[in-house]
Amino acid sequence: MIRFIDPEDIKVPRGYNVEVFAKDLTTPINLIINENNEMFLADSGVTDGNGKVLKMADTGFIVIADGFNPPLTGINYYNGDIYVSHRGKITAVKTSGEKVDIISGLPSWGDHHNNQVIFGPDSKMYFGQGTATNSGVVGLDNINWVKNHPQFHDYPGEDIILRGQNYITKNPLTNYPLDKAYTGAYSPFSVPTSPYEKVKGVIKASGSILRANPDGSDLELICWGLRNPFRLKFDRFGRLFCTNHGADVRGSRPIDNAPDEFQLIQNGVWFGWPDYAGGLPVTLDIFKPENGPQPTFLLADHPMTPPKPFVCFPNHAANMGFDFNYNPVFGPIGDAYVSLFGSEAPETTGGKPLPCVGHRVVKVEMNTRKVTNFAINKSGCPSSITNSGGLERPIDVIFDKHGNMYVVDFGLLGTGEEENWLPRTGAIWKICRI
In a domain, 2, yes or no: no
Distance CA 169, CA 180 (A): 6
The predicted-structure confidence for 139-162, as pLDDT tens digits, reads as follows: 999 999 999 999 999 999 999 999
Identify the band that residue 125 occupies on the pLDDT scale cut at 50, 70 and 90: very high
Give the sign of the dihedral formed by CA 361, CA 367, CA 369, CA 372.
negative
Q: What is the mean pLDDT of residues 372-383?
A: 96
pLDDT in tens, 51-88: 999 999 999 999 999 999 999 999 999 999 999 999 99
418: confidence class by pLDDT, cuts 50, 70, 90: low
How many angstroms separate the CA atoms of 276 and 288, rounded?
13
What CATH number corresponds to the domain at position 358?
Answer: 2.120.10.30
SS3 337: strand
- 274 upstream amide cis, omega within 30 of 0: yes
pLDDT reported for residue 415: 80
| Local confidence band at 419 (pLDDT 50, 70, 90 cut-offs) | confident
Q: Quote the pTM value.
A: 0.97
Distance of CA 154 to the CA centre of its chain: 17
- Secondary structure of residue 136 in the 3-state scheme: coil
The predicted pLDDT at position 410 comes to 98
Prior bond to 346 cis, omega within 30? Answer: yes
Residue 176 lies in a domain: yes
Number of domains in the chain: 1
**Residue 173: inside a domain:** yes
pLDDT of 345 reads 87
Give the pLDDT band (50/70/90) at residue 29: very high
Rounded to an integer, what distance in angstroms lies between the CA atom of residue 310 and that of residue 341? 19
Residue 307 in domain: yes
351 pLDDT exceeds 90?
no
Assign 3-state DSSP to the chain and report helix, strand, coil percentages, each to 5: 5, 40, 60
Q: Does 76 map to a domain?
A: yes
**What gap in Å lies between CA 397 and CA 410, rounded to an integer?**
12
pLDDT, position 416: 67
In a domain, 1, yes or no: no
Name the nearest CA neighbour of 319 among 367, 363, 287, 384: 363
On whether the CB atoms of residues 319 and 230 are closer than 8 A, the answer is yes
Q: What is the pLDDT of residue 120?
A: 98
Kindly tell me the number of DSSP H helices and DSSP E strands found in the chain: 2, 31
Q: Which residue range forms the structural domain that includes residue 172?
A: 7-433
Per-residue pLDDT tens digits for 249-305:
999 999 999 999 999 999 999 999 999 999 999 999 999 999 899 999 999 999 999
